[in-house]
Structure 1
Amino acid sequence: MHLISVDRVGASVEGRTLFSDVSFGLSSEHRVGLVGPNGSGKTTLLRILAGERAPDEGQVVARGGMRTGMLAQDPLLPDVPALDAVLEADPTARPDEGERLLAALRVDPAQLTSQMSGGQRRRVDLARTLLPPSDLLILDEPTNHLDVDTIDWLEDELRRRTGAVVLVTHDRYVLERVTDRMLDLVPPSAHREGTVVWHEGSYSSLLQARVERAATEQRATARANNLLRKEVAWLQRGPKARSSKPKFRTEQVEVLRAAASGDEDARPLELGTGRRRLGNDVFELRGVSLRRGDVQVLDGVDLGIGPGERVGIVGPNGAGKSTLLHVLAGRLPVDGGEVKVGTTVQLGLYEQSAGAGLDGSRTVLDSVLDVATHVPLANGETLPAHRLAERFGFDGQLQRTPIGLLSGGERRRVALLHLLVAAPNVLLLDEPTNDLDLDTLAVLEDHLDGFAGTLVVASHDRFTLDRLTDRTIAVARGRLTEHLDWDGHRAAANTTASGSGPARGGPNRDNRERQAARKRVRQLETRVATLTGRRDELHDAMITAATDPDRLRALQAELDQVTTELASAEEAWLELAVDLDG
């Protein structure tokens, strides 16, 4: 059943055009994910669909009597008990249905909304949005402030629900499992206006389509490079050769130079760890206890984290994930036990409030340069700080923008830049994916993939945990339970409510060996990718040098060496991968 038509719609904010000439239609069977960078207009488009904001151009026509529900990012709730606030959204609903939603979202139905944290109020608002039946359900970041178990529940709830769904989320697993169509919001650039591209298919198929478009553009770039070489050679032949149509030839070179520039920032970096090499000791907790109010957050726990380890911290909201990170960082004194931090540790802590304390009068670039002018890379080279800022979505104009004018997500990106340019050798990240768009998440994960130090991540984002961590520590009831990965944690949680016991003294010998093997696998994967890229470059160079025998022989010798090293790396990778899977 057709629900709504969007015809040539455009929107602007404070004189800046977000998107224009956007057209698509929604039907009752559609499950749509809306993706795009921070500040590109996703929330604005959702509000237009919900009828809360009129478009600046074009029109939106909705079916008469259509019921619309919308979850906004900033909830406005009455000062009443949670259950009353939920039932207020649908007076015809049974109270037990409101209780079911609040129980699944882990909210006390009797607690006053005025006494709740921001995350609890957000969950109450989600229950209010899900309670009434709707023809069109619009959700703006519904997974914010939800732990991973509750996100699983939300996925099931949305799959069972009838009617159309349009959602914005940074959780890629939710996008993949709940949606079957995508709206890809492409921000404006120097060459085009912002628009929205409708894609029939899942989020992963959208990514594949982007890859195919990039491959097409790469082929066009290669052709432009060939033409550019010829044009530059023509210009360099001398005044006589340039006497005919010199202006046209010069302009042609500039056009080709722009087309051939490509996107060097698409290549991930391997971040270095500053001047100090990380020693054998990083973190060790022995019998650590900590009480916050009436809650025993940590109860005699042991934990060891070594150099180069990549650890994910999971657990329900309020279980103590942030507390554990602050204990490791030395920000919280403990009631009992011992916390040892290695003498070579240079710590970088990214908190959930990151971005809130930044000086709003400083520009993005000045703020980053206050920390460092260059970022060390793993290969010994450095990258100018402004280039790293570009990779995280801050182009020249945004780099000159005062931080006070940025959105919340953009401020968190600045805080991330502060952390990365400081080049710590140990990173503690507390919910780093909150308020970041999917493109920024991909850039961050690419960079952290190659991080040579120790990484500890507390997150509800299962994709991030799967990609970046090798070891999972679950925090619950004052105890730490260790698993090899998130799936292991879920399996244990389904087997017993109390877990398998604390993670004492760090990983056992088998776990240490498996962690070392996984680290070696990652190193080999990076090596294989590097060698493969060099092999392809040599093939291209040999084609260009076909008439130069000396150059050709040198290239062939290097190619033989690269091919041998590549075969060796692939064989070693295969052996380790088979052992780990076994």
Structure 2
Amino acid sequence: MSLPSAAMHLMSLDNVAASVEGRTLFTGASFGLTSDDRVGLVGPNGSGKTTLLRIIAGERPPDAGSVVPRSGLRIGMLSQQPRLTDERALDVVLAGDPTAAPHEAERLLDVVGIDPEQSTARMSGGQRRRVAVAQTLLAPSDLLILDEPTNHLDVDTIDWLEDELRRRASGLVLVTHDRYVLERLANRMLDLADAGTSGTERPRQVHWHEGSYSSLLEARAERAASRERSTARARNLLRKEVAWLRRGPKARSSKPRFRVEQVEVLRDAAAGDLEAKPLDLGTGRTRLGNDVLDLREVTVRRGEHTVLDRVDLGIGPGERVGIVGPNGAGKTTLLHVLTGRLAPDAGEVRVGTTVELALYEQELRAPGPAGPTSAGSSAGDENRTVLDTVLDIAPFVPLANGETLPAHRLAERFGFDGQLQRTPLERLSGGERRRVALLHLLVAAPNVLVLDEPTNDLDLDTLTVLEDHLDGFRGTLVVASHDRYVLDRLTDRIVAVEHGRLTEHLDWESYRNEHRLRTRAAADRAAAEAAAPTASAQDNKARQAARKEARRLEQQVERLGARRDRLHADMAAAATDVARLGRLQAELHQVEGELTAAEDRWLELTVD
């Protein structure tokens, strides 16, 4: 009986600290890395995640402490802004490992959707980043360091990347806003989120957590519950102290100074996390009518290429629609047609008369006073502050309960404390600028929100705040995203853009399963058509029967998948009805068994 090999030690960090422009980002980073570690690094924007990655990679020294890598350690690093030479994509990728076979580099480029012959000099930032992903994965490494690897990847490629990283034997340190990737890959966590105090210059501590991202969240929740209990006790004491202060001077003559100071302390403790509760943003300042957005027989062309081919799409009041599809399929084009940014070459676009629409665009430009309908128009004056751009739209944000929230308080919820609110836009990071753009939209109080890849460059804490607010948005929401967690949490149906057509699905999981079945079936049919017709008539008859059965099974899998999804929804609705929940659970067990059997049989028929 062979025993599993011991994990290889890769690196040790001892009491590492780092500073930027005189400000200490973090201190006390002490941990070791082994070949078995899949480490997720989390923390707010500006907390030092990228700096810590660069220290681990040896790209910059720590300002205090020591980093000791194993002798001969090979490190692969994907940065958020990779530096690539201007040459053929294939040559750039092969530079990561000159000994690799060209066909392996071509395979990686094909997966990330890049033409191997295309020059990186003519690529967009997103395309260059995908080339860098391929280059990093091709190069041999003992420790792989990835800074936001899912940015600019479509959902199918992210699925593939998960599988690729799971198969690798090297250690991994990962920063990502994709919580599904984080949960499925990480077995250890480095946490900068709970250290420090919001709105202060206090440096953060780097905490090592044994376990997954979800177990880290559970640990945080336990700490928050403990703080809440302390806050509740402080509130009770505060009520008593306030009552004492309100009594007459004679009654409160004993130790008055001490008790006044105690009230000040209790008041701070009692504040707790009240401001962290999500808001119900309602539907903006104007109520939506029955007609919102409607596309009829819409066609969009770019030269000889048809991006959208006679597509129909109706979106009603209060609907929450996710837009998915491969890179370059036309997701942004669809959003621009829906929002009037792009006129179609044919067809009709109808927008309801009560619609007040806001668009968050993927290409980041600073928002400004030009108008509330787009978080993309240039501000023109980079000396303007965060608060200037917010107050230009409205000083107050309307809530669903009829109350209003001062705009600067909403800015605080998105991580802009008093000092940051007075910071000129030109001094903000990319992630902070994206937060300003999102604030710009929310303060405008639209009743239709259209978001194009809103999660890029946002940290997990800001994402959670955004999702909490969008949960309370009563208007119509359309979001194109590669983030599967966002799609699952915020949308009620999925519209996929592929090959110029639109297809609708219950959710992301249904889309993925159907997409995989179609892809496998298409590959099988192509292989069958390419094969020489050497089989006997009897063999041909058997193949035809198998293909017919496979097509029937595809339809059966689709029906069973939809039935399973409905059962999950019914079970959520019947959470308090124990008898009905038991019946639904039994039916779900049967459906899942039938679904597994159908998928297994389909694989037998389609895979040699």
Q: Does 1:25 align with 2:32?
A: yes
- Where does residue 295 of structure 1 map in the other structure? 305
Mapping of 1:76-115 within 5 angstroms?
76-115=83-122
- Where does residue 599 of structure 2 map in the other structure? none
Counterpart residue identity of residue 6, structure 1: L
Does the 8 Å contact 1:183/1:196 carry over to 2?
A: yes
C-alpha deviations, 1:6-30, integer Å up to 9, x for none? Answer: 1111111112221112211111110
Q: Does 1:363 align with 2:371?
A: no
- Where does residue 41 of structure 1 map in the other structure? 48
Between 180-189 and 60-69, report the one with greater CA deviation. Answer: 180-189
Displacement of 1:241 in angstroms is 3.3
Does the 8 Å contact 1:43/1:140 carry over to 2?
A: yes
Does the 8 Å contact 2:298/2:347 carry over to 1?
A: yes
C-alpha deviations, 1:502-540, integer Å up to 9, x for none? Answer: xxxxxxxxx9xx99x98x999x99xxxxxxxxxxxxxxx
Mapping of 1:482-501 within 5 angstroms?
482-497=504-519
Q: Does 1:198 align with 2:205?
A: no
Q: Does 1:188 align with 2:215?
A: no
SS of 2:68's equivalent?
strand
- Where does residue 146 of structure 1 map in the other structure? 153
1:72 to 71, 74, 79: 79
Counterpart residue identity of residue 127, structure 1: A
SS of 1:304's equivalent?
strand
- Where does residue 308 of structure 1 map in the other structure? 318
Mapping of 1:131-530 within 5 angstroms?
131-186=138-193, 188-189=196-197, 190=200, 192-356=202-366, 357-358=378-379, 359-497=381-519
C-alpha deviations, 1:538-571, integer Å up to 9, x for none? Answer: xxxxxxxxxxxxxxxxxxxxxxxxxxxxxxx967
State the alpha-carbon separation in 1 of the partners of residues 264 and 576 from structure 2: 42
Displacement of 1:75 in angstroms is 1.5
SS of 1:18's equivalent?
strand
Does the 8 Å contact 2:284/2:475 carry over to 1?
A: no
SS of 1:427's equivalent?
strand
Give the RMSD, CA atoms, in angstroms.
Answer: 2.5
Counterpart residue identity of residue 490, structure 2: L
State the alpha-carbon separation in 1 of the partners of residues 431 and 478 from structure 2: 22
SS of 2:72's equivalent?
coil
State the alpha-carbon separation in 1 of the partners of residues 364 and 406 from structure 2: 23
State the alpha-carbon separation in 2 of the partners of residues 293 and 16 from structure 1: 52
Does the 8 Å contact 1:273/1:378 carry over to 2?
A: yes
Displacement of 1:231 in angstroms is 2.0
Counterpart residue identity of residue 18, structure 2: A
Does the 8 Å contact 1:169/1:175 carry over to 2?
A: yes
Does the 8 Å contact 1:19/1:188 carry over to 2?
A: no
State the alpha-carbon separation in 2 of the partners of residues 337 and 46 from structure 1: 50
Does the 8 Å contact 1:283/1:304 carry over to 2?
A: yes
SS of 1:288's equivalent?
strand
Distance 1:236 1:183, change over 3 A: same
SS of 2:134's equivalent?
helix
Displacement of 1:86 in angstroms is 0.8
Distance 1:68 1:19, change over 3 A: same
Aligned length: 522
TM-score (norm 1): 0.85
Unaligned runs of 5+ in 2: 1-7, 367-377, 523-550, 552-561, 592-608
- Where does residue 545 of structure 1 map in the other structure? none
Unaligned runs of 5+ in 1: 501-510, 526-568
Does the 8 Å contact 2:13/2:31 carry over to 1?
A: yes
Does the 8 Å contact 1:173/1:463 carry over to 2?
A: yes
Does the 8 Å contact 1:368/1:385 carry over to 2?
A: yes
Displacement of 1:197 in angstroms is 1.0
Distance 1:260 1:373, change over 3 A: same
Displacement of 1:137 in angstroms is 0.6
State the alpha-carbon separation in 1 of the partners of residues 201 and 94 from structure 2: 50
TM-score (norm 2): 0.82
Counterpart residue identity of residue 116, structure 1: M
State the alpha-carbon separation in 2 of the partners of residues 570 and 456 from structure 1: 32
Does the 8 Å contact 2:356/2:448 carry over to 1?
A: yes
State the alpha-carbon separation in 1 of the partners of residues 160 and 453 from structure 2: 20
Displacement of 1:265 in angstroms is 2.0
Distance 1:570 1:343, change over 3 A: farther
- Where does residue 371 of structure 2 map in the other structure? none
Counterpart residue identity of residue 288, structure 1: V
Does the 8 Å contact 1:183/1:197 carry over to 2?
A: yes
State the alpha-carbon separation in 2 of the partners of residues 215 and 355 from structure 1: 39
State the alpha-carbon separation in 1 of the partners of residues 323 and 246 from structure 2: 60
- Where does residue 561 of structure 1 map in the other structure? none
Between 285-294 and 323-332, report the one with greater CA deviation. Answer: 285-294
- Where does residue 533 of structure 1 map in the other structure? none
Does the 8 Å contact 2:285/2:447 carry over to 1?
A: no
Does the 8 Å contact 2:571/2:584 carry over to 1?
A: no
Does the 8 Å contact 1:355/1:408 carry over to 2?
A: no
Displacement of 1:355 in angstroms is 3.7
Distance 1:571 1:401, change over 3 A: farther
Distance 1:12 1:139, change over 3 A: same
State the alpha-carbon separation in 2 of the partners of residues 204 and 129 from structure 1: 28
SS of 1:242's equivalent?
coil
C-alpha deviations, 1:53-95, integer Å up to 9, x for none? Answer: 1111112111111111100111111122111111111112222
Displacement of 1:345 in angstroms is 0.5
Distance 1:191 1:104, change over 3 A: closer
Displacement of 1:248 in angstroms is 1.2
